[in-house]
Structure 1
């Protein structure tokens, strides 16, 4: 942050010096060279860049963009949802025939409406001449990291650290380099924004529930830092512990009492995809876990099946099965009231409690007790969705996920892969405890399937069912499942040399079967 501040300040001085002989009278009447009018205009110019960033971490409109950025990728690969629609003759993402025309949207949203806007904020502040404008740079960087770690968790290597230099903007970072840059940007923001906690200039541009509260933004950034520390805990335990303990001990605090919600002004895209189009339904894993646990959140997450023969049951669809027509499974459980309104959640308090629970298992300082954090996470999720019965739920030592039974075709039936229970098993191994933590974290993060898919790839939990139909041509192992999305076609066509270098960073072919840097495939402890 200090370097950014000094750079902006130096630029401000240089601009004033270069213009002083041409505008001597104005500079003498305004020693700083900035009128109140120009400062207000500068803030507006900067502030206007935030709208596209807020609306493209998850793209919210049109709904088909979200469908391709998130819904037919992370949402289905996580086990949260399944499309009853056999797009392209059932040869599509769900059967591992990765569709380039779909899978470029996370990339194009990020490089069309997040990265350029963050750069514009930096340049506007630099040219505007107000050293206090650095707060906008730091806030933009928080949103940038929130968006770009998701992009990296889809593709792996990304264009990040060199993006701001025209000569190198096409060059990729290996994923470990990008992650270390994420930590640096978050740390600079958390530390640098402390002096601005009473500042209100961001309020007119803040589309989040924080309403311009800088202390809240520091807390959110610190919570993202903990998320990413946990993300790299298997591949780089030392880096993870350092960053995790910084987050756990930071005076910024963690977001354990409130959720990070964006007021988009548009209906949640899934209301269109599920309601108007009928293109997404409950996933089989959601049915198995929520019905097996008799979990009250099911009534918020989903609507009972419309098919009269299912007698109001919450029925899901297994991903990657043979579907001939949309009408077969179209009346299975649709998405419920969790998506009502014009808001979209970036992070929940429940997730932060579960991050602390895993940090406790890993022995990180200031993480607290794993069981207490686990129970706080479940309780926070119940409270978020207005569900009662938390005490009985947390004391349940017998319920387990149910085996999945396909309502139409018993060839798709499958047993759930474990008997993981609800009540925290303090006597269990760390692996057993982690499965409990991640299973409940997975439930609580719904409907953010991108983050849920990422955590499944990192930990193996919860137990996601393999596809029945695999159209990948051997590039994706049915049992190992899809691990990433290949680099986008437009990048290959216009930035081919840098894409080829990025493929080298992967350590494997540019296919959906290659593991990302943090996806080690090894045990969790």
Structure 2
């Protein structure tokens, strides 16, 4: 990790300053600083494509790479059980041992408001405010929900409905209110995108669409419906009635949810997935012990796509356990830096935001809960595994994997320090079993969803917090001074330091909505302690 770069970079603009620059003078905002006229900028939607490009890049920060590292890699990617680090950052006491580093954890917030919300407001001004291009505005609403539900799932309450307000204090919305507004925004987006799809042909938004959809209205509607399904499932333990309504609405809508491989939403960034550099070049991230335990235990062929074999232990996959004692010294990093690095899945300029496989697993859980998801839980579960194998070009190996009813995760052994060894905790087989309890069936669904979702650790961390699955190895060393429980793990991060500097009164409204201290132990609104069923 290029800590010297982070220390020298002043990126954390205050939210108040960002909002002021985006709401006080739209004419100034949209004036090209190189002298181009508004007419020239409007040609081929240049005045829209510019802001949208920044938005696309900000969801998973592609460039510069170090921003992705502090936006997600040293948070969700690790807390999800996907990846681990051989490096003892911050003197060997950091996020991995639950000593949360505010200077890291505020970046997701700052990127969301500087890159995403500010630029979406510019797009809104060029479309909805001027009564133009409703299709582009609809697309921007879907992007907004995709980007900002991730932020709400990191922090809880966020500035959302009040973002464009002229008020000096930007008040926060509760996470419940944010989700309700997002459902409404998806309503608006799907209505417009469906209307445009019904009219036939591809859209005027193709030049502004940096995804594999290339302006296909029907696919954008399908993505919006799939996001609705994801959000519906997130709130199932808090508001099961609304969750069922929204989930069934997503599946039954005219264009439905993702079903074919071409429906998977992929951002065509032009940059290598940032995990590639963090892992292959910087050697700051490797396979986790949890991934080793599950993938090796299941004999999962996706392991060769997700990771490289260890150069330290040729021919073997070797992960690192999260939350172990690692000194902040070069020689300490060398002990494990040649464990399995992240593989060819990130050696690409395409970043998956949401996959067809995930949607099948969401539907499988919905069916398990008795919702109308169009098929049985078992069939949808098998379809999710198959879709994941197809996504990784392993279609021919899916059937045998699905049928296996004996293999289970294996114990973890740390060849450097036996104190970090662990007995396998996620003891569940692969094959669907109609006779199993709903809890075991859910563990199977979420375990396979977790495997299929790699390398998006943010989404996996959210689902782990919601369901408790897959079961992960607890940290060996907990340096939170008793704040965060070893068994319960990190539930959120504290609000961004930039808010204390730029929106202190607004920050107080967010803290008041938390229902607990502004720390990593306080649960989000949808993250309840109640049972899954």
TM-score, normalised to structure 2, is 0.89
Number of corresponding residues: 486
1:221 is the counterpart of 2:228:
no
CA gap of 1:37–1:480, structure 2 versus 1, over 3 A, is: closer
Q: Which runs of 5+ in 1 are unaligned?
A: 1-35
Q: How does 1:152-171 map to 2 (within 5 A)?
A: 152-167=152-167, 170-171=170-171
1:247 is the counterpart of 2:250:
yes
> What residue is the counterpart of 1:317 in the other structure?
320
1:415 is the counterpart of 2:423:
yes
Runs of 4+ in 1 over 6 A off after TM superposition: 36-39
Q: What is the rounded CA distance, in whole Å, between the counterparts of 2:129 and 2:362 in structure 1? A: 40
> What residue is the counterpart of 1:104 in the other structure?
106
Contact 2:41 2:47 in 1 (8 A): no
1:433 is the counterpart of 2:441:
yes
Q: What is the rounded CA distance, in whole Å, between the counterparts of 2:436 and 2:47 in structure 1? A: 55
Q: What is the rounded CA distance, in whole Å, between the counterparts of 1:38 and 1:419 in structure 2? A: 61
TM-score, normalised to structure 1, is 0.90
What displacement does 1:493 show?
A: 2.0
Q: What is the rounded CA distance, in whole Å, between the counterparts of 1:228 and 1:453 in structure 2? A: 14
> What residue is the counterpart of 2:186 in the other structure?
186
Bigger Rg, which one: 1
Contact 1:282 1:333 in 2 (8 A): yes
> What residue is the counterpart of 1:3 in the other structure?
none
> What residue is the counterpart of 1:11 in the other structure?
none
Contact 1:416 1:463 in 2 (8 A): no
Secondary structure of 2:266's aligned partner:
strand
Deviates more, 1:98-107 or 1:409-418: 409-418
1:450 is the counterpart of 2:464:
no
Q: How does 1:77-156 map to 2 (within 5 A)?
A: 77-126=79-128, 128-130=130-132, 133-156=133-156
What displacement does 1:42 show?
A: 8.3
Secondary structure of 1:56's aligned partner:
helix
What displacement does 1:326 show?
A: 0.5
Q: What is the rounded CA distance, in whole Å, between the counterparts of 1:38 and 1:47 in structure 2? A: 13
1:279 is the counterpart of 2:284:
yes
Q: What is the rounded CA distance, in whole Å, between the counterparts of 1:51 and 1:92 in structure 2? A: 33
1:302-353 CA-to-partner distances (Å, cap 9, x unmatched) read 000010xx23210000001011211111110000100112111101110000
Secondary structure of 1:261's aligned partner:
strand
Q: What is the rounded CA distance, in whole Å, between the counterparts of 2:450 and 2:479 in structure 1? A: 27
1:271-318 CA-to-partner distances (Å, cap 9, x unmatched) read 1101110000000000000000000000000000010xx232100000
1:211 is the counterpart of 2:218:
no
Contact 1:162 1:168 in 2 (8 A): no
> What residue is the counterpart of 1:63 in the other structure?
65
What displacement does 1:256 show?
A: 1.7
> What residue is the counterpart of 2:363 in the other structure?
356
CA gap of 1:39–1:218, structure 2 versus 1, over 3 A, is: farther
1:386 is the counterpart of 2:393:
yes
What displacement does 1:400 show?
A: 0.6
Q: What is the rounded CA distance, in whole Å, between the counterparts of 2:41 and 2:477 in structure 1? A: 59
Contact 1:190 1:252 in 2 (8 A): no
Q: What is the rounded CA distance, in whole Å, between the counterparts of 2:210 and 2:300 in structure 1? A: 32
Q: How does 1:18-33 map to 2 (within 5 A)?
A: none
> What residue is the counterpart of 2:46 in the other structure?
44
Q: What is the rounded CA distance, in whole Å, between the counterparts of 1:411 and 1:77 in structure 2? A: 20
RMSD over equivalenced CA pairs, Å = 1.6
> What residue is the counterpart of 2:241 in the other structure?
238
What displacement does 1:48 show?
A: 2.4
What displacement does 1:156 show?
A: 0.5
1:496 is the counterpart of 2:499:
no
Secondary structure of 1:345's aligned partner:
strand
Q: Which runs of 5+ in 2 are unaligned?
A: 1-37
